[in-house]
Chain A
Amino acid sequence: MFRFIVRRLLQMVLAFFGTTLIVYALMFAGQGDPIQALAGERPVTAAQRAYLTEKYHLDATGVGGFFYRYFDYISNLLRGDLGESLTGRSIGDILAAAWPVTIKLALIAIAVAVIFGVTAGVLAGIRRGSIFDNATLLLTLLVLGIPTIVLAPLAQYFLGVKWQVFPPTAGADPGFGALLLPGIVLGSLSLATALRLTRTSVAENLRADYVRTARSKGLPSRRVVSVHVLRNSLIPVITFLGVEVGNLMSGAIITEGVFNIPGVGFNLFRGIRTEDGPLVVGIVSVLVVVYLVANLVVDILYAVLDPRIRYE
């Protein structure tokens, strides 16, 4: 187990350097005027130009200069210094204010996916071919097929503006009530995937030989399903949900943008809209790290859950 974690950590370090290098190269390499590239089409003041040149060491040139700047960027990133956005705010401060909101939102979304998706998936898996099963399959197909940019604004319009079941937008410091509708919208996709995954997994495991063994021990079928089948079926589901937590932390760009939730995705959304290069680079770099760490945690979780992996 220890060796497994060490190996995975090394892989993650490699992936970290690879991905950040790609992100950095794409943002900065080969641009005519890197400062203008960062700022997009906005006019750049002399003060901003001086700050950016110093910040990204833009006076060094060539491949050597590129790597010099890259490692400078990496060491700043590792020290937690993300620099300033074009509006002059510290990106670290922006993220520090945004994370708690995003995490709250992600937790609501995951809770929705677990409570409804996994439960319905288990039921559908047990009653495969029933009306309930077919209905959930069709419903999840609908959810999976409707893009978030349709779901989020429509939910906001109908449930928030027209029928006023939920608050249509979240304020500066949104509470649970304000985050509920965005959380459900955000979680619906994970819900559908988790449901389908659980259903397939449960249905497969119900046919496994060990279920027959457990029944022949004289265990009540409730226990056979809830202990033996579930423990095996939930391995892929938990893995998926783990990856999904990582995705939701970074992937809530649309939902946060639509509902005006001041989270990480919202700031990224705004950074794109206002063409604030440093803000986009800073947030994307942090999100890449979050994504990699989430994947590492999931892999270790998988090894903990499935003893067959651990000893390979």
Chain B
Amino acid sequence: MSQNAVRPTPASPTPPGGHLLEVRDLHVEFRTSEGVARVINGVSYHLDPGETLAVLGESGSGKSVTAQAVMGILDTPPAHISSGAILYSGQDLLTLPEAQRRQVRGKEIAMIFQDALSALNPVFPVGWQIGETLRQRLGMSRADARRRSVELMDLVQIPAAAKRLGDHPHQFSGGMRQRVMIAMALAMEPKVLIADEPTTALDVTVQAQIMDLLADLRRDLDMAMILITHDLGVVADVADRIAVMYAGRIVEHADVRSLYRAPAHPYTKGLLNSIPRLDQRGGKLATIRGLPPNLMRIPSGCPFHPRCPYAQQVCVDVVPHDLVLGDGRTSACHFAQEVRDDRAS
């Protein structure tokens, strides 16, 4: 089947001056019996049609929670969105009633998850699971949904798609399962695809194949993509811009090239330094000292200060604002300029 089977969606209607998707000052807390964990503390980012934004951070930095808030699939309770807005084509999704919110899911914004084995329902054949979206949301007949499911499985390059329609998720290899997930997400030709650590559970060789597939599909289907990952190596080839998250905030936001060349936040710098490089033989791999903060007890001032080599008294006392560094770059560090210009480390 050719990729023409999936019609590229026409360029999305973006209101003048607005973005396709915009998260504005989002705050999310988890209210548990142990206390309140402030998981997202004022995250803002945007996505324009056809571009790829990478959201980078350690586990617990809030990158997945933000994505789930965008999808509207946070488990409430314990999660509560305490303030903020999520605008899709200018419409605030958080104020929409659930019935309309549901219409956005899968059709406008779709999501693929980290571990396809648990993210797919174990008791239904994959063809049924892909077709379910088509039958339930688009009202397709059983036969049409089946035909279209085969097309989608061809599109994500699953060999002998028609024969594997009736197989269950556990009968697929890890990489093939992730392709099934992708096919399912693409069923309604969404304009935004959120990929939440799509390659983390896979072998290294398969990781590259899946990333290539995602990049190709994004281009061919003219989607915008949010790629959530903790792996800086994965994003360089695929992403246009990168947002680095730490303790529920975006600490640095830049285009890929400038960020790699001159990171303007000590945390980004630490992450970049901890990637093993071919030209760096022998010696110890750099690490970021300390541990990510407990979200019930976020440190005062800049949350990164206990681990930061640049920390001064001001970092303990004052919460840094986003410093605009030109070219649309921002960094939430009191010493952003110094860090950017400090090439020593």
Are A and B physically bound partners?
yes
Residue numbers in B under 8 Å from A217 (CB-CB): 105-106, 132-133, 136-137, 184, 187
Among the stretches B14-22, B53-61, B119-127, B248-256, the one at the interface with A is: B119-127
Contact B121 A308 (CB under 8 A): no
The answer to whether A218 touches B113, judged by C-beta atoms less than 8 angstroms apart, is: no
Residues of B with C-beta under 8 A to A307: 122-123, 168, 170
Q: Check: A141 CB closer than 8 A to any chain B CB.
A: no
The answer to whether A134 has its CB under 8 Å from any CB of chain B is no
Are A218 and B115 in touch, CB under 8 angstroms? no
> CB distance B121 to A228 under 8 Å?
yes
Specify the chain B residue showing the minimal Cβ separation from A235: B123
With A209-B113, A216-B73, A308-B168 known as contacts, the answer to whether A232 contacts B121 (CB < 8 A) is yes
With known contacts A307-B170, A308-B170, A212–B119 Cβ distance under 8 A: yes
Contact A231 B168 (CB under 8 A): no
Cβ–Cβ < 8 Å partners of B120 in chain A:
210, 213
Q: Which residues on A sit within 8 Å (CB–CB) of B68?
A: 212
Q: Which residues of A contact B110 (CB under 8 A)?
A: 216
Interface size counted on chain A using CB atoms at 8 A: 23
Partner of B137, one of A213, A218, A231: A218
In contact, A208 and B118 (Cβ under 8 angstroms): yes
Bound together, the chains give a CA A219 to CA B170 distance in angstroms of: 23
Contact partners of B321 in chain A: CB under 8 A: none
Whether A215 and B73, one on each chain, are in contact in the complex, defined by CB atoms closer than 8 angstroms, is yes
Nearest A residue to B170, CB-CB? A308
Complex contacts, B168 vs chain A, CB 8 Å: 307-308
A89 within 8 A of B: no
State A223–B137 Cα separation when bound (angstroms): 12
Interface residues on B, range: 20 to 34
Given contacts A217-B105, A308-B168, contact A209 B123 (CB under 8 A): no
- Complex contacts, B111 vs chain A, CB 8 Å: 216
Contacts of B185 in A (CB 8 A): 216
Q: Tell me the residues in window 275-308 of chain A with beta carbons closer than 8 Å to chain B beta carbons.
A: 305-308
List B contacts of A232 (CB < 8 A). 121-123
Residue of B nearest to A311 (CB): B171
- A136 CA / B166 CA spacing, docked (Å): 40
Residue of B nearest to A223 (CB): B136
Chosen A-B contacts, 25 in total, with CB atoms closer than 8 Å, are A209-B113, A209-B115, A209-B119, A210-B119, A212-B113, A212-B119, A213-B113, A213-B120, A213-B121, A213-B184, A215-B73, A216-B71, A216-B73, A216-B110, A217-B133, A218-B103, A218-B188, A219-B132, A219-B136, A220-B102, A228-B121, A231-B124, A232-B122, A307-B170, A311-B171
Contacts A213-B120, A217-B132, A218-B104 aside, 19 further interface pairs with beta carbons under 8 A come to A207-B75, A209-B113, A209-B118, A212-B113, A213-B121, A214-B121, A215-B71, A215-B73, A216-B106, A216-B111, A217-B106, A217-B136, A217-B184, A218-B102, A218-B107, A218-B137, A219-B132, A231-B123, A308-B168
